[in-house]
Structure 1
Amino acid sequence: MSRLEQEMRTLAQQAGGSHKTVHDRMALAQRFCARLIHEQNVQIRRVDQLKARHIEGYIQNRLAQSINKRSLQNEMSALRQILIRAGRDKLAHSARLSNVALGLAGASRHGTHLAITPERYQNALAAAQQKDAGLAAAMALARMMGLRSEEAVQCGQSLNTWQKALAKGAASLRIVFGTKGGRPRDTHVLDAGAVKKAVDNALAVAEDRNGRLIDKPDLKSAMKYWHSQAGRMGLKGEYSPHSLRYAWAQDALACYLVQGYSEKEALAQTAMDLGHGDGRGRWVAQIYGRKEEAG
C-alpha cells in the first residue's frame, strides 16, 4: 500500500458515516490511488500534493469505462469528504471539480431498478427452488419482508425469533443482521400468513444447514453466490434482487394508504420500514415508486 493510499484510507475513516459508507469511501481511495500511481505513474505521496488535474483524469477515465454519472457523483462526493478532512477545502470546492465541469451534471436520481412484477417473481422463485432451496427461501423472505440482499443472506440467524414473534401476532419484525450501518430496523408484516409460511419454510431449510440459508463458509462467498445465482434466475438489470425490496415497498405504501394514512404519513412510515429516516418519504416515492412503463 502506497503512502498516499494509506493516508487517504485513514482520512476516509475519519470522515465518518455508516460502516458501508466508510467502506465504500475507503474502496474509492484504493481505486483512485491505483489509477494515479500504477496507471499514470504519478509519484504523489501525500494528499496535500494532489491537484485538480489528477482528479479530473480519474473521473474522465471512469467515464470512459461507462460508469454511470450518478455513481460518479457519489465518488466525487466521497473524494470531497476526504479532501475536506485533509484541510483541502479549496480544492474540494474548486470550480474545476464541480459536477458540471466534470461532465457529471444531469444524472437522474430516479434509480435504475423497477419493482419486480408478480410473473417475474414467480418465474425466478420457481427457478431458484429447482436449483437451491435455501436460495429460494431467502428470495421469498426478501420479497415478503422488503429485505436487502445482505439481510436476506444473513437472516437465518433471526428465523427462530421471527417465528416466535409471528406466533404471538406481531405486527412487525426486527431485522438485525446485514442491515445498513449495522442499525436494526423494524419492518411491518403486510401479509401475516405469507410471511409465516416463508419463515417456517426457511427455518426448515436452515435447520439442515447449520442455521444458514446460503450454505457458504463466509459472508463474502455467500453474497457472491446470492448475486450470481439470482442473476441466473432472471434477477438482473432493472430487475435485480433489489427489485424484490422495491415491490415490497410499493405494497407497504398501498397498505398504509388503505389503512387511512395520508400520503405523506404513508411514505414516511414506508421509509422507516425500509430502514431510512421518516424524512426520506419523498425520496422513497421517487426511487422505490418506479413502475414499468406500459407498452
Structure 2
Amino acid sequence: MTVAREIDRNVEICGRPVLKTCYCDERQRRKNEKLCPEKKMKKVAPADEAQQTQTSVLCRALEQHVRQGDILRQLGVVFKVFLGGAAKRDKVISHKTKEIREQTIVQAYRQLKQDGFAIKDIRNIKPKHINHLIGVWQKNNLSVATMHSRLSILRVFCEWLGKSGMIPPAAKLLPEHQAKRSYVAEKDKSWTAHEIDPEQLIRQIQQFDLYVAMQLEVIQAFGLRRKEAICFKPWQVETPEGDAIRIYSGTKGGRPRMIPIDTPQKRAVIEAAKAFVPHKQAHIADPDKTLKQNIARFGYVMLRFGITKEASGATAHGLRHQYANDRFEEFTGNTTPVRGGDGRVDEAINEARYRVSEELGHSRIKITNSYYGKFQRQG
C-alpha cells in the first residue's frame, strides 16, 4: 500500500475542505474522489505554497521517528521546520516567543500521555485531545489569559501539521465567562500604587547588585522592557542631536522606537549610565554573564527584594506601567482610569495615548488600555 507523504490542505469534497493526513493512503484518496467526482484536487494558492512545501518536508522527516514512536523527536523536527515563523508571516518573533511555544506544545503532549492518551504520532492530535486539555486547565484554575494563549499556540501548531481550522476560536470552546480575554487593566500596577518607593528601593538594590539597579533606573526613566534595559548601550542609543534615544536591542518583535529625552531625570539617567559602563560599546548588564544569565540574575534580584506578585503584588514590569500612567498625566493633566480618572476621550486624549503607545513600543493605541484602564468609546 502506498503511503502519501504530502499534506494537501486544499482538497475539496462537495465544496467542503477536507484535511488529508500523512497517513492518507491511495485507497482513501480514491474514496475521496468518488464522493465528488466532478471536483478535482485544487492546487494551493501561491501564498500557501511555501507552507505546503514545508509541510511536505516535515512529513518526510517525521517518518523515522513515527515508526519509533518518539514524540519528543517528532516535535523536534516540527520545531526545526516551523518554530521560527510567526503566525502572521510578515512578523519576526522573539526568542522568548519561540521558547513559550515550544514549552506549551511539549507540555500538552506530556499531559496527554500522562492522562492515558497513547499518541505515537504527533499528527494524530484531534479535537477530543484539545477538549481534554481545556478540562485540565480549568481544573487547575488557570487564568483566562493563559488558556487563550495556549489555545492560540496549539492552533498555530495544528496549522503546521496541516490541520488548519481544527481548533476553533476560544469563544466556541470555553464557557461564556472565559470566552473573552480582557486586555484592560482593572487596577494600577505601578510600584507607587503598591506603596513602593522606586528611588528608595533602587538605592537598596545598589548595595546588592549595581547592574540590576542601573537597569531599573533606565526602566523607570524610559519605560523600557526588562530585556531592553539589559541590552541598553547608553553611548550608542542617543541621537546625534541629543534629544532622544533610539531603542533597538532587545525590543519585542525587533521593532525599534524613539523615546524623547525631555526631562532632567531622563538626562541624568543617561549620563549616569554612560559613566557606569567601561567603554562606549558596552551595555549596562554584567559583561561576564550571557544575556540569559543576566535575565536570570534580574529575576533573582527581584525575588530577593520582594518585587513579585506573591510578595508585594508588584513586578518589575510595574515600573513600565508607572511610566505609562505618569506620561499620560504629564501630557494631558488628567488622571488615568485606573487612578480614578473618568476615562473620557477627546482628540487631545487620543493624541496622548498614541504618544505613550509609541514610546512603549506598541503600534496600536488600544494596547494602552492594559496600562491605564478602559476609556469611553467616542460617540
Q: What TM bracket, shorter-length normalisation?
A: 0.7 to 0.9
Q: Alpha-carbon deviation of 1:3?
A: 4.5
Change (3 A) 1:119 1:90: closer
1:120 to 197, 201, 205: 197
The DSSP-based 3-state class of the residue aligned with 2:259 is strand
1:221-240 alignment, distance < 5 Å: 221-237=293-309, 238-240=313-315
Deviates more, 1:232-241 or 1:115-124: 115-124
Q: Alpha-carbon deviation of 1:190?
A: 4.1
Deviation track 1:205-251 (CA, whole Å, cap 9, x = no partner) reads: 2218x934332521111101101202322322142010111111112
What is the one-letter code of the residue matched to 2:126?
A: K
Q: Alpha-carbon deviation of 1:148?
A: 0.2
1:2 to 61, 72, 75: 72
1:1-295 alignment, distance < 5 Å: 2-6=72-76, 8-9=78-79, 10-14=81-85, 15=87, 16=89, 17-20=91-94, 21-37=97-113, 39-40=114-115, 42-93=117-168, 98-100=173-175, 104-105=178-179, 107-111=181-185, 114-117=189-192, 119-155=196-232, 158-162=233-237, 165=239, 168-170=241-243, 172-191=244-263, 193-207=264-278, 211-215=282-286, 216-237=288-309, 238-257=313-332, 262-277=348-363, 280-284=364-368, 286-290=369-373
User: Structure 2, unaligned stretches of length 5 or more?
Assistant: 1-70, 334-345, 375-379
The DSSP-based 3-state class of the residue aligned with 2:289 is coil
State how far apart, in whole Å, the 1-side matches of 2:329 and 2:92 are: 30
State how far apart, in whole Å, the 2-side matches of 1:80 and 1:282 are: 24
Relative contact order: is structure 1 or structure 2 higher (C-alpha 8 Å, sep ≥ 6)? 1
The DSSP-based 3-state class of the residue aligned with 1:239 is coil
State whether residues 32 and 58 of structure 1, in contact with CA within 8 Å, keep that contact through their aligned partners in structure 2: yes
Q: Alpha-carbon deviation of 1:36?
A: 2.6
State how far apart, in whole Å, the 2-side matches of 1:100 and 1:62 are: 13
User: Structure 1, unaligned stretches of length 5 or more?
Assistant: none
Aligned residue pairs, count: 280
State whether residues 5 and 33 of structure 1, in contact with CA within 8 Å, keep that contact through their aligned partners in structure 2: no
TM-score, reference length from structure 1 = 0.81
State how far apart, in whole Å, the 2-side matches of 1:122 and 1:95 are: 43
State whether residues 171 and 179 of structure 2, in contact with CA within 8 Å, keep that contact through their aligned partners in structure 1: no
State how far apart, in whole Å, the 2-side matches of 1:13 and 1:187 are: 29
Change (3 A) 1:129 1:36: same
State how far apart, in whole Å, the 2-side matches of 1:94 and 1:105 are: 9
| Larger helix proportion of the pair | 1
Q: Alpha-carbon deviation of 1:4?
A: 4.2
State how far apart, in whole Å, the 2-side matches of 1:151 and 1:95 are: 32
Q: Alpha-carbon deviation of 1:48?
A: 3.5
